[in-house]
Amino acid sequence: MSADSSSAAVAHPFDPGCIFCRIIKGEIPCFRVYEDDEFFGFLDISPVTPGHVLLLPKGHYPSVLDMPESVGTALLRGIARLGNATMQTMNAQGFNLLQNTHEAAGQTVFHAHWHIIPRVHGDGFTPWPQQENPGKERMQSIADAIHALSVSD
């Protein structure tokens, strides 16, 4: 995420070629479930489970890495509100929160967005298979490299 310490309201970036920007603007219909100053939510038209919701910033940011940090509070508020509302509506026992960043991770629409997927025991959805632990030395090497990069500016 990029830092943005401005608290003044600004116009949201818009990409006329982005399907999500066009949905937010009302040019393409959707089944809207949530809206606040920073975020917009609607039902996914290809749901993993019934009630699968997409939550996205109103501004066009190709990935979560491009979003200003200032929208973090609104993001958490939207996730909590939509997660609770979706679980209640769908009589779900939980939900998966999924965010794909870049094509290699499965991102197909390049406007940052989160999937809220309601879950019930035995629904058959398995988000990802786990791999074998690569061992203590490799794990430490990976942890050290990630830590070094995450604390530098």
> Is 113 a catalytic site residue?
yes
* Catalytic position from the list 102, 113, 121, 147: 113
Nearest to 15 by CA among 109, 98, 132: 109
Q: Cβ–Cβ contacts within 10 Å for residue 75, how many?
A: 18
Q: What are phi and psi of 81, to 5 degrees?
A: -65, -45
The H or E element spanning position 34 is: strand 32-35
Q: Which residues contact 90 (CB under 8 A, 6 or more apart)?
A: 49, 50, 51, 118, 120
CA distance 89 to 82: 10
Tell me the catalytic residues.
113
